[in-house]
Amino acid sequence: MGRGQPLLSHAGPSRRRVAGTALGGWPGPAASGNDVERGLEAALRRTRVTFADNMDEPVHRWFRFPAGFSARLVRDVMEALGVGRGMLVLDPFTGSGTTNVVCKSLGIESVGVERHPLLAWVARVKTYWEFDVGYLRGAIERILERARAEAPLRARELLGEVRSRPELLRKVFGEEVLAQLYAIKEVVEEVEDEHVRDFSMLALVSALRDATDVDVGWPYVLPRRKRRKGAVPPVEAFARRLLLQYSDLREVLSRLDGGIPRATIYEEDSRELTRFMEPDSVDFAFTSPPYLNNYDYADRTRLELYFLGWASSWSEISEKVRKKLVVSCTHQVRELGLPEGLQPSEDIEEGVREELARKAQELRAIKRRRGGRKDYDIMVVAYFNDMARHVAEMYRVLKDGAYYVMILGDSAPYGVHIPTDEYLARIARHVGFREARVFVLRERGRRWRHLVESGRRHGVQLRESLVLLRK
């Protein structure tokens, strides 16, 4: 492998001049300066990163999951890197399916991998477009007719039953509204066609946060806090969502030039890709892996998991979801029983191993001074051990010369900076990727400035980056 200096480039919308800065002096390839990278830098200057932009995009707006990323970013990066029809695209942490929906709209076959069962289901529903739209329209009209006619009576019959539902649901909706939502759910569950049933159920699940007047914004559900917007009656909220989905589907189908490309969603583990995917089969990969920021991806979907009946308690969510995900929060550390003093894997590049061990020791010392409440020392090491396994699997399934793009942020638990983008790039080079480069997209953490000034939060400047790897 070559031993030039990779560059950390500031390429986000707020940085009009690309500034090359040595990334910690770690061994790696020199910036090639070729047309592909220049095109990528130009695309990143004009593109935002966050999921919020997707709320105006057909299909992407069917389910709000703010831990996602911008569909436009996916399109722009794919165009810059020459990704097109006839290729196979993989998103190994597909979340609610942003990459797969983009690929489907462009006529490109794709695969998505997601271990979180709810998100895998959402992605699967969002990427099933093989409907006869006339048939679907008739089915939707019948469902809405039944929901409007039957939901009030069914809700009265369900009032006693909803009192046994998880407390969170009763606090968020109140018993009468919750009974109406379950009445609509019964109507949807009686639909015989599996794809129409899932299409309609997604509309109902997405309507949950419209049908309450308490704060159910992301990332927290706060039943005691009222929000400014009032609640939409359940049947009306469901109807709005269902008709929006139908309208969006018609729009994207009208734009397709040719047949509908396949999108395959696996509810599987991205640390074990070769268990269900062929080696050397993927032409391009784009993802946003879990951020190392103590964000509990399982807890953030508790409302939906409880309503669907896929879980009924915190411990059940842990068994069915939390324990199966890449470690990125301290809840997982405790529930997996990970030991204090956990060591970085031998599969991680030696320099990164040494830095992780040193930072884990620093975090452990701070934890003890603060009373031992947050196991950031264990979480950080476990995260990179999991991600090293994932990067090695990605190397195996990608074709030679294929690009792998990751969108991610760094972190600073207890004020100890963890340059996640740099470490993953170095791990990738150690695995065998011949190129690794980091583009800084934007700075993060400005909205917490008042907490920094009051001494309640660290003052480390954080960033969101694009890591570009090439096999």
In tens, the pLDDT along 301-335 reads 999 999 999 999 999 999 999 999 999 999 999 99
Range list of H helices, 273-313: 302-308
Average pLDDT on 223-247 reads 86
Choose the weakest-confidence range: 65-69, 183-187, 397-401, 427-431: 65-69
- Rounded CA separation 289/383 (Å): 11
Q: Would you mind telling me the total number of residues written for the chain in this entry?
A: 471
Q: Given pLDDT bands bounded at 50, 70 and 90, which one contains residue 56?
A: confident
With a cut of 70, say whether residue 5 has pLDDT above it.
Answer: no
Give 65's pLDDT tier (boundaries 50, 70, 90).
confident
Q: Are 272 and 118 in contact (CB under 8 A)?
A: no
Tens-digit pLDDT profile for residues 350-407: 999 999 999 999 999 999 998 878 999 999 999 999 999 999 999 999 999 999 999 9
Cα 99 to Cα 245: distance, rounded to the nearest angstrom: 18
Alpha-carbon Rg for the chain, nearest whole angstrom, is: 23
| Angstrom distances, CA of residue 84 to CA of 5, 71, 403, 451 | 31, 16, 13, 45
> What does the pLDDT average to over 202-223?
82
How buried is 62 (Cβ within 10 angstroms: 0-12 exposed, 13-18 middle, 19+ buried)? buried
Structure tokens at 342: 């956990």
Q: What is the pLDDT of residue 442?
A: 85
Of 30, 36, 34, which Cα lies nearest the Cα of 78? 36
Cα 261 to Cα 66: distance, rounded to the nearest angstrom: 26
Of 454 and 225, the one with more pLDDT = 225
Alpha-carbon dihedral of residues 265, 271, 277, 279, nearest 10 degrees? 140
- The Cα 243–Cα 259 span in angstroms is 24
Band (pLDDT 50/70/90 cuts) for residue 222 is: low
pLDDT of residue 458: 57
B/e letters for 135-173, b = 16+ CB within 10 Å, e = fewer, are ebeebbeebbebbeebbeebbeebeeebeebbebbbebb
How far apart, in Å, do the first and last CA atoms of the chain sit? 12
Decide: 469 and 428 in contact? Cβ < 8 Å: yes
What distance in Å separates the CA atoms of residue 238 and residue 218, rounded to the nearest whole number? 20
Query: 456: pLDDT confidence band, cut at 50, 70 and 90?
Result: low
| Angstrom distances, CA of residue 35 to CA of 23, 40, 47, 284 | 22, 8, 18, 18
The C-alpha atoms of residue 391 and residue 405 are separated, in whole angstroms, by 11
pTM over 0.75: yes
Helix (H/G/I), strand (E/B), else coil: 410: coil
Q: What is the spatial distance between Cα 389 and Cα 431, in angstroms, rounded to a whole number? A: 10
Q: Please give the single-letter amino acid code of residue 406.
A: M
Name the average pLDDT for the chain: 88
DSSP string, 419-443: -HHHHHHHHHHHHT-SEEEEEEEEE
Give the lowest-confidence range in 35-49, 246-260, 320-334, 394-408.
Answer: 35-49
Question: Among 377, 372, 295, which Cα is nearest to 328's?
Answer: 295
Q: Is residue 195's pLDDT more than 70?
A: yes
**280 Rama class: left (phi>0) / alpha (psi -120 to 50) / beta:** left
The predicted pLDDT at position 43 comes to 77
Q: Report d(CA 267, CA 363) in Å as an integer.
A: 34
For the segment 452-460, the average pLDDT, to the nearest whole number, is 56
The span from the CA of 429 to the CA of 28, in Å, is: 7
Return all residues near 302 (Cβ < 8 A) that are at least 6 apart.
Answer: 168, 221, 311, 314, 317
Confidence category of residue 446, pLDDT binned at 50, 70, 90: low
- Does pLDDT of 18 surpass 90? no
Q: How far apart are CA 339 and CA 377, in angstroms?
A: 10
Lateral strand order in the sheet of 263-266: 20-22, 7-10, 435-444, 462-470, 398-409, 282-287, 88-91, 109-113, 263-266
